[in-house]
Structure 1
Amino acid sequence: MPTSSQEGEILAIKQVADFLQVTERTIYRLAAAKKIPAFKVGGTWRFRRIDIDGWIAAQSGTMEGQAG
């Protein structure tokens, strides 16, 4: 199924930036500050799609709590 292949998908900085509609610099900052789930491979940041989806859900829950 497409879901299982997306869950194992590994993304690069540019892909995450495009996905979240922010600059690559913003993703670098978040990753370096450990504010977004990430890991390094050979000195380059990488992100698991499932971790990013979970992070988005957690951020959305926090934002909803503050807005209401």
Structure 2
Amino acid sequence: MAEIEDRWLSVDEIGKYIGVSSDTIYRWIDKHAMPAHRMGRLWKFKKDEVDEWVMAGGAADKANGNS
């Protein structure tokens, strides 16, 4: 069976995909409106939504020195 191409990714998986820690992912959800969907106690992500958010500058610090 082929792996589903457009599946939901976990915090660990999306962190590995973009090269940051899980703590950074949680901080971006809280402070930078990272596109994430809450499913019970878990956060899940669509890769294409995160790609668009990153390319639009969503991960950039808005104020110098603050994260």
Same-fold call, TM > 0.5? yes
What do residues 6-51 of structure 1 show as CA deviations (whole Å, max 9, x unaligned)?
Answer: 4x32110001111111110000111123521001001111111110
In structure 1, the residue matched to 2:64 is none
| Structure richer in helix, relative to its length | 1
**Whole-angstrom distance in 2 between the partners of 1:25 and 1:38:** 14
* 3-state SS of 1:59 partner: coil
Structure 2, unmatched stretches of 5+, are 61-67
Aligned residues, how many?
56
* 3-state SS of 2:9 partner: strand
* Amino acid aligned to 2:42: T
RMSD over aligned Cα, in angstroms?
A: 2.2
Structure 1, unmatched stretches of 5+, are 63-68
In structure 2, the residue matched to 1:32 is 30
In structure 2, the residue matched to 1:47 is 45
* Amino acid aligned to 1:56: V
| Structure richer in strand, relative to its length | 1
